[in-house]
Chains A and B, each alone.
Chain A
């Protein structure tokens, strides 16, 4: 890979810029070698040429003081920065910048756990703290607080929240559980939001809204500032935890499962994010495609049936958990059991019913108790050289919508020569439908097909009234473009805010389709 320059910056100015950055963070934390240092700042799972996302450099400040001076340098040269924290946003672009030449602003070194408050149940963390870091810290200090982690446990507490990520305990809606935020604006101003704006505040991480407009959301999935610290509420260890699984025999059961599930969720009988997982996801975390089928195209039903039998899974598999004192769990279980038992063929499992080496069950059990692990990455082992990109539209919690979305994706997926590997995660009133598009990262033609399929899915979903909650850097403009009601009023409002809070346009240009004025005409 050859060196590239930031857009609009001449080579001699770039050299001066790098020299200035080195004065701020030290030579060892400015990275420019395209062979040794920068490949890790690109996306391992790209479906487009790596050159499109090749950074010109990366800079890693250690604290807010250094960050402030890095922003000063960037403003001076009008250099585009691309902010990452733990940099593990894989399936959505990883650490890769939106366009070639950006300088990656790597906040991984800002990795302090600033506070764990056992009494009130929260932690305050910097951007570089991973779920595993926080989990290990809580274990070390003997805390009785749980982490709520993303399925890939190496992800970051702060960046997963800012990307609107979810976890699997009752605290799974990460944006809801965030309380108190520190953010640096492009001009270097450090802002405390909410109650933190009150000097000596006693409630910075206890009450979310403060006085006046609540602005925390402006700094999620955005490029309006650099979030440097957040408070996250942590769930106290409950007196009991009993995960369960219900399997269903038929593909068409998705409709009934979703209808049964909605009242259980709305009435909070299932407190955690509820997962309805299609069988190939269950299979992919523990076996490979070639273990069962070496042909091309969709896996035949006879083979799928054998897979279900071997792995003790259903066509759909529901995961939930009971939390609380045993009598409370017993009572709740009666209601849940009876509801799902109305679906013919439903089979119920608790921990004692699943094998100790049942990979799918064991990692879901851990996730429900906030124990970080990486097992879900096994889905990429489904095929050789597997990589993945997630298509994630939001759905109403109805059987008709779930089925419609499933068929919309499954049919296009099969036509394009990929396996449908997906799951539905029910939050408060919505379902995140996650389709894990797995492809061979060493097969250029397959990558091109995956990219084309992804685009078709965006358009088909939008035409049916479904939008995505998050996306890969390659599709940010395309998906932002589907949120175009009233002549794209929302995007135009975002652009107005961008122009005010970041007039130099240095912060993550193009993030979620929001470009600074200077780059709007040139957006890809």
Chain B
């Protein structure tokens, strides 16, 4: 259990409260899956990601994610995360506690109503850039559609 808690704190970058933490990662199995699939987790910061990578990440976010994860409860991903974390806390672009491995895990494995994304539609290189972009959040200016 201690191991699970430690990992969850690493994965979410030690920046969420206890309640949110408990709901972010539900089981040790899940957490082990993330680490096993993605290696050592680390939080990214905007400063650590080049402007070019951020721009590319933003473009990938718009192309692949925004239909479900744009701000607003009409977007099912945002609504699902709002029900989980609280109203106004569901938009991915507003998150400041995502890590690259966390993003990569859920993109490849899905969660709740979100199906996994195939490498054929979003390859590992693109996913890496997307994950770094989201981990460098929040991104107050939602990219244009």
Contact = CB atoms under 8 A, between A and B. Distances in A.
Nearest to B76: A377
Contacts of B112: 380, 384-386, 441
Interface stretch (B9-17, B49-57, B116-124, B128-136): B116-124
Interface in B65-105: 67-68, 73-77, 79-80, 83
A31 B120 CA distance: 9
B67 A373 contact: yes
Nearest to B112: A385
Interface residues of B, number: 27
A53 to B, nearest CB: 13
B121 A374 contact: no
Contact of B108 (A28, A40, A288, A441): A40
Interface stretch (A69-77, A87-95, A218-226): A87-95
A375 B110 contact: no
B143 interface: no
A67 to B, nearest CB: 13
A292 to B, nearest CB: 14
Interface residues of A, number: 47
B75 A36 contact: no
Interface string A106-137: 10110000000000000000001000100010
A374 B116 contact: no
Q: Which of A86, A377, A384, A387 has the most CB of B within 10 A?
A: A377
B40 interface: no
A362 B79 contact: no
Given A288-B83, A374-B76, A58 B115 contact: no
Contacts of B120: 29, 31, 58, 60, 87, 106, 108-109
Contacts of A357: 73
Contacts of A31: 118-120
A87 B121 contact: yes
Contacts of B83: 288, 381, 384
Of B83, B118, B120, B121, most A-chain CB atoms within 10 Å: B120
A95 B110 CA distance: 14
B22 interface: no
Contacts of A18: none
Nearest to A128: B121
A88 B67 CA distance: 14
Contact of B113 (A29, A58, A359, A377): A377
Contacts of B80: 380-381
A145 to B, nearest CB: 18
B103 to A, nearest CB: 14
A39 B33 CA distance: 13
B74 A40 contact: no
B109 A39 contact: yes
A153 B79 CA distance: 17
B20 interface: no
A40 B75 contact: no
Q: At the interface, is chain B mostly helix, strand, loop or mixed?
A: loop
A44, A132, A154, A384, most chain B CB atoms within 10 A: A44
Contacts of A374: 67-68, 75-77
Contact of B74 (A36, A94, A288, A375): A375
A110 to B, nearest CB: 10
A385 B26 CA distance: 12
Listed residue (B68, B112, B121) with the most chain A CB atoms within 10 angstroms of its CB: B121
Given A132-B67, A378-B76, A95 B113 contact: no
Chain A interface mostly: loop
Nearest to B62: A136
Contact of B119 (A37, A136, A153, A375): A37
A375 B118 contact: no
A108 B115 contact: no
A385 B110 CA distance: 11
Contacts of B110: 39-40, 44
A333 interface: no
A237 B73 CA distance: 28
B74 A39 contact: no
Contact of A387 (B68, B113, B121): B113
B75 to A, nearest CB: 7
Contacts of B79: 378, 381
Contacts of B123: 28
Contact of A58 (B36, B116, B118, B145): B118
A363 interface: yes
Contacts of A385: 112
A154 B119 contact: no
Contacts of A153: 67
A83 to B, nearest CB: 12
B118 A106 contact: yes
Interface in A1-50: 28-29, 31, 35-37, 39-41, 43-45
A194 interface: no
Contact of A40 (B67, B117, B145): B117
Contacts of B119: 31, 37, 40, 60
B74 A359 contact: yes
Contacts of B116: 39-40, 44
A286 interface: yes
Given A40-B115, A60-B120, 16 more contacts: A28-B123, A31-B119, A37-B119, A39-B109, A39-B116, A58-B120, A88-B115, A108-B118, A154-B67, A357-B73, A373-B67, A373-B74, A378-B73, A380-B112, A381-B83, A385-B112
15 contacts: A35-B37, A39-B108, A40-B110, A40-B119, A41-B118, A44-B110, A44-B113, A109-B120, A288-B83, A375-B74, A375-B76, A380-B112, A381-B83, A386-B112, A387-B113
Interface of A: 28-29, 31, 35-37, 39-41, 43-45, 58, 60, 86-88, 90, 94-95, 106, 108-109, 128, 132, 136, 153-154, 286, 288, 357, 359, 362-363, 372-375, 377-378, 380-381, 384-387, 441
Interface of B: 36-37, 67-68, 73-77, 79-80, 83, 108-110, 112-121, 123, 145
